[in-house]
Structure 1
Amino acid sequence: MPTATPSAANPATAHWLSASQLPAPPSAQQCDWLFDQGSLTRRLTELADEQFSVLPLLEGWQALRSDECLALKVPEGSQGWVREVYLRGHGQPWVFARSVAARSALEGSGLDLAHLGNRSLGELLFSDQAFVRGPLQACHYPAAWLPSAVRSEQLWARRSGFSRGALALLVVEVFLPSLWQHVAGRATLNP
């Protein structure tokens, strides 16, 4: 698996907003997924009839993006552990997920993100009751930040922070068209 490497500054920006702040809210169905407080891993596993998997794409230390530094309350340009994966149903990428933690908080925390492999970070976060989840926010995720295989404009994404003492993790989940197609197909079968 490739490791993350520092990249040139990316001019793309994301405008993360709460559900009540969104100027043009998504459909009711999309809102249900974007602002659901439960475990996305569990929900996807159920939707995929237990045929859920995680495909790691990239992980390693790199400079965090400006919006990530702001959310994690660390100085601009701070180093962090970055993990990007596809959350898949029936072998299809349904969600692109990017999780980050500042190096300063992660080292010495006892959390070893480097060895998650094809396990879901969400499963770990929801099984450890010491983690507290912050508010959910949503935006149209910048296409430039997506892997080329799923790059598309105007995809809805959500993010939330998870904290345990001094450790803070930021988890972003981008909902891909293949998920919405499966959800729509499931709704047609089960009206």
Structure 2
Amino acid sequence: MSSPSPHWLGQAELPSILPDPHRTWLFDQQSLTRRLSELSANRFSVALLQQGWQVLRADECAALGIADGSEGWLREVFLLGAGEPWVFARSVASRSALEDSGMDLQSLGERSLGELLFSNPAFTRGELQACRYPAAWLPPNVRGTDYWARRSCFRRDGLGVLVAEAFLPAFWQRLATPT
């Protein structure tokens, strides 16, 4: 599933043609879990797709400041609104940093990683970046082109947890539908 790494951009680097709703959601500093829960009238849930140890992608290693080809913990989920996949999320952390931290992210199951990170004041969030997410990096059942994604790294002591979130068409459709 290799694909050329996208060029992740900060808010100031993004083209001005990006629509306001996209820019607002991509660069919002609040918990995405909480915002999706509000948008779905508290019908938010997490569907675990996979988690475990594997070699991280080059762009992930660079963002975490670890050597290319490093092994890390990976978690991929759908963030669901009213049972529909709205966001594909991929979270990674360096194996050595995660093991040294004493955090047990493996036991999250279908609970929100975002809630864990936002409820722990020891974590600080780095800069939000955005890009067009490569179709090859998406699960086959939602694969498409021109999906906008964002990522940021949450840090605590020596641990960095990189969280990338790709907004799926069903999310933008729901956002455009009057309530």
User: Aligning the two structures, in what range does the TM-score lie when normalised by the shorter sequence?
Assistant: over 0.9
- Are 2:72 and 1:80 aligned? yes
Output aligned runs, 1:7-156, within 5 Å: 10-23=2-15, 25-156=17-148
Give unmatched runs, 5+ long, in structure 1: 1-7
Structure 2 counterpart of 1:135, one-letter code:
E
1:24 and 1:97 mapped to 2: Cα distance? Answer: 25
When the two chains are superposed, the root-mean-square deviation of aligned CA atoms in Å is 1.0
Partner of 1:4: none
Which SS does the other structure have where 1:77 is aligned?
coil
Give unmatched runs, 5+ long, in structure 2: none
* Structure-1-length-normalised TM-score: 0.91
1:110 and 1:134 mapped to 2: Cα distance? Answer: 21
Count of residues paired in the alignment: 179
Which SS does the other structure have where 1:183 is aligned?
helix
Judge which range, 46-55 or 10-19, deviates more.
Answer: 10-19
Q: Deviations over 1:47-103 (max 9, x none)?
A: 010000000001010000000000000000000000000000000000000000000
CA-CA distance at 1:24 after TM superposition:
5.3
Partner of 2:162: 170
1:168 and 1:128 mapped to 2: Cα distance? Answer: 14
CA-CA distance at 1:23 after TM superposition:
3.1
Which 4+ residue blocks in structure 1 deviate beyond 4 angstroms? Answer: none
1:179 and 1:160 mapped to 2: Cα distance? Answer: 20
CA-CA distance at 1:25 after TM superposition:
4.3
Which SS does the other structure have where 2:175 is aligned?
helix
* Structure-2-length-normalised TM-score: 0.97
Alpha carbons 2:149, 2:166 under 8 Å: kept: yes
Identity %: 59
Alpha carbons 2:3, 2:136 under 8 Å: kept: no
